[in-house]
Amino acid sequence: MTDCRAFLIVMDSVGIGGAPDADQFFNGNRPDTGANTVGHIAQARPLHMPVLARLGLGAAVRLASGQDAPGLMSPPQGLWGGATQISRGKDTPSGHWEIAGVPVPWDWHYFPDTAPAFPPEVTARICDLAGTQGILANCHASGTQVIEDFGTDHIRTGWPICYTSVDSVLQIAAHEEHFGLDRLIALCQSLAPMLHAMRVGRVIARPFLGEAPGEFRRTGNRRDFAIAPPGRTILDIAQNGGRVTHAIGKIGDIFSHRGISHLHKGKSDADLADHLIRLGSEAEPGSLTFANFVEFDTNFGHRRDLPGYAAQLEWFDGIAGRFLDTLRPGDLAIFTADHGNDPSWHGTDHTRERVAVLGHGVGTRAIGLVGFSDIGASVLAHLGLPAPDHGRSFL
C-alpha cells in the first residue's frame, strides 16, 4: 500500500464558466449562457488569491471560458485544467457524485414553482410525521426569507415551514427550541425515503433561532438526507481497499454516510478549515480526505453578494496556503468545485458552469478539459486503488 495521501477539496459553487450546455439550464426564464462565477467576480474587483492563482486558477478560467480573471493570471506552477459535467443537474449531489465516479443516471424530480408546490400526499405525510394539522409556505422560497415571512406563524402554530427551489429538494425549517432540533431532524429523516422514491435528491433540515422577524437566523445544525449514490464512489472504493477516509463538512450527508471512516463537521467554513489544516498534518498514510466548503454557495452565491463572495475566495486562498504547508512529499491535493453560482447573475439559482481542477504535489502539468469523473479516477490512481466505473486518470 502506498503511503501517499490524497486530499480532494470542493469549493462549493466556485465555477469558471464555459459549460457547453449552459443554454439548457435556467435562472427564471433566462439561460445560464455566459455565467462565470470566478471570472465575473474578478472582472468586477480584481482578486488577490496568490496560492490558487499560482496553481493555475486564472489559466483554468481562460481555458474554460475564454475570459481573463484579473488578479489571477499568474503562470501556472501546479496541475491545472477545467472539468465539464455530464449529469443533468447543476446541484450539489449531481456534482459531487460525478466527481466521485458516479454520474447521475436519472432525471431528478423537481417541484413546480406554484403555491402549493408539494402534492397532497407529500403534505399529508409531513403532517402525519410532525403531528400537525398543516404546513407553512409550501412554495419556492429563499431559505433566509422564508423564516422571516413565516417564522412568527411557525412559533404560534407549531407547523413546520416547508419549501423548495429549482433544485431537487424539499427543505423544512423549524425553530430549534419551540419545535425542537431533534424533532426536526427525525421528521426529515423519516420523510426522506418517500422523497427519494420520487427521485427528489435531498430532504434538508433547516433549524433556526430568534423570536421575531429581524432576529430569526439559521443555525449551523443543518442536516441533509440525500438519496444514496447508485454506484461505487471513490469513498466506497477507498474504504473497501482498507484505507481510512475522512469527510469534512457536507460530504457525509451528500454520500449518505457511505464509505466514510471519520466525519468532521463544524458550524462554519472556518471550523472546517481547522479540520482540513489539522488533517494535513495528521491524516494517516494512504488515506483519502474529501472536503466541502459550502459558504461560497449558501452565504454569497444564492444571495447574489458579489463583494462577499470575493472576500470569501480571498479568505479561502489563505486557508489553502496554510493547508498546503502541512503536506508531505508524495501527497496530492486537488481543489475543484461542483457547479457554479455566479453572484453577478440574474435569479438566485446555481449556474451551469465548468469547474477548475487545481493540483498540488505532482509538479506543473496542464491537463486541459477533462470530465468530472476523471477527478475521482485520478485521486484513486494516486492512492494505488482500483479505478471507479467512470472516469480516467489524468495523472
Residues at the binding site are 12, 297, 302, 338-339, 350
CB 35 within 8 A of CB 90: no
DSSP structure class, residue 390: S
Task: Scan for cell 435569479, then name that residue.
Answer: 347
Residues 6+ apart with CB under 8 A from 88: 94, 104, 107, 108
C-alpha cell recorded at residue 245: 477516509
Number of C-alpha atoms within 13 angstroms, CB side, residue 338?
Answer: 30
Cα dist from 172 to 29, 182, 298, whole Å: 26, 13, 16
Torsion angle, CA of 377/382/384/389, rounded to 10 degrees?
Answer: 0
The angle formed by the CA atoms of residues 238, 276 and 353, to the nearest 5 degrees, is 75
Q: How many residues does the chain have?
A: 395
Query: Which of these, 287, 324, 277, lies nearest to 50 by C-alpha position?
Result: 324
> What is the DSSP pairing of strand 26-27 with strand 136-140?
unpaired
DSSP string, 89-132: --SHHHHHHHHTT----SPPP---SSSS-S-HHHHHHHHHHHT-
CB 84 within 8 A of CB 338: no
Residues at the binding site for Mn(2+) are 12, 297, 302, 338-339, 350
